[in-house]
Structure 1
Amino acid sequence: MNALVAVRPEPHRVVDADGNAEPYRYQLSIDDRVALEAALGVADEVTAVGIGGNAAQRCVRSALERGADSGTHVTFEPIEGIAGEKYATVLARVVGREAPEAVFIGEASSLDGPEVAGLAAAKLDWPSATQVTELGRESLDVTVETDFGDDELAVQRKLAIGRQEAVVVSLPAVFGVDSGFTNPDRASMATLIAGRRATIETVELADVAPRESRFSMSVGNATVEQVTPNERWGRGRPPRTGTVEERIYRMLGRGSGESGGAGERIDAPPEEAAERVVAFLRQNDLL
């Protein structure tokens, strides 16, 4: 079985024995390390896919050093973070190019959240299993007596605290791997050296998803139907009608300048002013 694993960066910080903290560095997400371990346990060939800038490329390299057979980097420079639905869109496009039989995604990644697995499955029109805790008939805590072929995979998944179920999923499929699936181990020295020497395929974002840009990847599926300009100073077009004084008042949000303000000034002591306001509200059934 050929598998594809999404590898994403998340901030890590090292604190030494003296309590001194180093600046944050983006490294391969721990949850995606777990997903990589899950894929390596059941697949014959694993491709790691990173989407984003230099941090994503470093994640692909880390996956190669941990045993992935090949790596692909969809490169672009994000403005800030990447919206979950856009990440899933590009990932689905890469899946179309690579044609794997399974996609493994860490569900608890802090970068894109747990929705990526479901969104990617929906875009691919593939079945999916989330919160996966075991893979393969031999690994399950229960016995699966149903016969199934090479195009199906037995999965154990978490339902709630203390409750799990076993299902058989038809391939190709997307698997959202639970963070408790395993504790990722360090790779052997030979695997580490091979991963550092491996070549990463670099693909431009425009070649994978021509309609996406670094802006849409960060903003997500946002649409603007109608824009109403605010004519206050610095928040829209300045007024072009009226006298200079009227324009200044309107730019400052103070009305036309004739009344000097948007409300009514009460020239009275605080107690009397409060009584007049209460009487006005009661008179107009507002209190």
Structure 2
Amino acid sequence: MAEINNRLLRENRLFDSVIWVSSSKDMKTEELQKVIAGKFDIDLSGFQDETSGAATLFEAFQRRKKFALILDDLWEPFSLERVGIPIPTVENGCKLLITTRRVSVCRGMETDRDVKVGDEALASPDIKLIAKDVAKECMGLPLGIVTVGRALRNATDISEWQISLMGLKASALNIEQMEESVFSRLKFSFTKLKDDTSRSCFLYCALYPEGNHVDANELIEYWMWEGLLGAVDSISASKQKGKIILNELKYACLLENAADNEMECVKMHDLIRDMALTIMKTDP
């Protein structure tokens, strides 16, 4: 994305302005407004609310006519209107590009086109196959892949890759610094769940054996009987609340769908389960 930004700035014939904005994990609407305003040399400190700031930013974007806005490292979807960003259309020729590791962000932002990065092939076909398994064991998590990738940098001996893969399958802790880098990012996904009810329901899933395919309806019923869903007027309402939480956990990539011909099932990735057990050990 940095290369795209630099190339647009050097060779730009498509846009009147190119704007790069770095987001952060806990950035609120007003904070995002201030960061964008800084790119336009606008001071929003005197505005009373985000609506006034949005109007000012909207006018600033309009003055720049055809723009390309790049939002890097987005963690949560947001409303373009609330921030003050004109909606890109074919007619106005504007473009909005975002980078994120969450599919739910793409859905929430109603992206027109999604591009999944990482299609560069390794020279050795055999190592390439093992590398794909290594990436799967890292759950496709950027920090995990970077950490393992550094450990295997310039490794051309296939046995070295095989040993690393076996170590990953046995325990994430066998890879140097794996726990700190991966677990911290995974725990962020846990802490970003909407409330303690969702977090408790997630931790409950770790009580199932590793690799277990869990009947989704059974799981929701256990949440109900354990009292994790709180006071709800009826069983049907309680089940509906459980279904909403289940979908939230899947959107956060803390649970994933498990193939089963007869019933809806979910499963928890081994690394996710390790993280959940670690949380429960430190905070029962």
Q: What is the TM-score with the length of structure 2 in the denominator?
A: 0.22
Higher relative contact order (CA 8 A, sep 6+): 1
Question: Higher strand share goes to which structure?
Answer: 1
Flag the structure with higher helix content.
2
